A and B are shown apart, each in its own frame.
Chain A
């Protein structure tokens, strides 16, 4: 039986208490994407400033539980300054860590998109602390909310510029 310590690792609580990149960015030039967790009513807003194919800046708004908030905080730190390609690789690696179980509890409409595809070697660093979440299936959606919202934002930006 997994215990609370498996879920609430110290790093997670730290990001929850001291969220990184919290706030807003002026839109435009930034892009605003909004995500909802229909199960619990949590909402997350991701502000993305992408310039020359690089996530130049990112801010997180909205509200949620410690898992969704800390995951968003870690996500923002992890993708800031990376190229859009690198950010997408990171999303894939993170979702792979979460998705085995996610699809088995009903999915969220964003099918794990790595089936049969070679997973990029991406070091997850601090994000590894969220691995324990898979032992608490109902909380997986909390952890993936900000990542799905990031992808949505990147997709919307790609659609705009094409």
Chain B
């Protein structure tokens, strides 16, 4: 792991990502939608290709050579992910499809076992629908009560009434970084507050892990959920990290092969961790690609990644602010110490769809919409934003291209 702080060589990094060579509408693509999904480096693409070409076999049951290799590669990937998030044991790293499935797993397995009518789960108004709807489903089924930590006008958590909200709660589930405002939440403080109230803490780290050095042990959380596809890895794979003793006590989520030790006519005995929660043939290639992705990020060094994004976000906030002044609103905190590289924009009174359409014509990829965070959009008083998000392969020139394209949008609609 690169421990020393060295600036990222973005010109070299860009060359690692073949998609960034693509042209649309006659222009080289400017990819600013990594909060939705990141692009994939050659190292990951090669790993997927090599897996299918040389060791493709189902895992865990074959005695022949390539089945053994596939199993080892998948378990090695699990250990890489473990290291990447500072977990103690690879048995605590459960492969799931994505962060959404990770949270649903906790809601189904832990939630249905432990929550009764009237029990309280605390969420925040910053949450992605992935960390809202599973709890709504449980509320409908079990009659649990949901409470919400409010959000300030600049899109940060308002912790003024945290303690009374947590009073009597069983679980506090919150995001470590908003996918709309980029706001970073004080994870350790929130976890401590949950524990002080006797609640467990689930961290939606889907936006956090790709952009920040992560240590689940110093977070002291109970569950941490994230997806590989936002951190240079393939789609279809993600991880739930959970404290071993909690996972041990939880019933399986899905039933089938892989997750059992024994099956009889009158019942079954579940497998040990982590396979207890991994029913059926897993996403083998994707898991191995996940490992290659964290290797890639480890080589860059997550400390360097975070520094790069802070500097670039700062540049973007300054440049866009200077060029557009009052005509551009950038939601979220202005201090890059508490925000990541996610810029939700409102340009004059243009609708985000129209902005994104003109940007597309300039080869600039941004996302327009509610970003699966409708409760937060209501707090911000908008129905949609145009969101530009930054990653390791973005540089100041990309921000300048964005600014030029925003100018083109103002021109086009004659504002």
A: residues with CB less than 8 A from B are 1, 3-4, 7-8, 13, 39-43, 63-67, 69, 136, 139, 142
Contacts and interface: CB of A to CB of B under 8 A. Distances in A.
Nearest to B384: A41
Contact of B357 (A39, A42, A139): A139
Interface of B: 25, 351-354, 357-358, 361, 368-370, 374, 377, 383-384, 412-413
Given A40-B370, A66-B351, 8 more contacts: A4-B361, A8-B354, A13-B413, A41-B374, A41-B383, A41-B384, A64-B383, A65-B354
Nearest to B408: A4
A1 B25 contact: yes
A136 B25 contact: no
Contacts of A66: 351, 353-354, 413
Contact of B369 (A3, A41, A69, A136): A41
Contact of B358 (A4, A41, A43): A4
A50 to B, nearest CB: 28
Contacts of A39: 369
Contacts of B412: 4, 8
Contacts of B357: 4, 7, 136, 139
Nearest to A67: B353
Contact of B377 (A41, A69, A136): A41
Contact of A40 (B25, B358, B369): B369
A13 B414 CA distance: 10
A39 B369 CA distance: 7
A40 B384 contact: yes
Contacts of B352: 40, 65
B361 A40 contact: no
Contacts of A43: 383
Contacts of B370: 40-41
A146 B410 CA distance: 26
Closest 4 CB pairs of A and B: A65-B353, A41-B370, A65-B351, A41-B383
Contact of A63 (B358, B374, B383): B383
19 contacts: A3-B361, A4-B361, A39-B369, A40-B352, A40-B353, A40-B369, A40-B384, A41-B369, A41-B377, A41-B384, A42-B383, A42-B384, A65-B352, A65-B353, A65-B354, A66-B353, A67-B353, A69-B351, A142-B353
A69 B349 CA distance: 13
Nearest to B350: A66
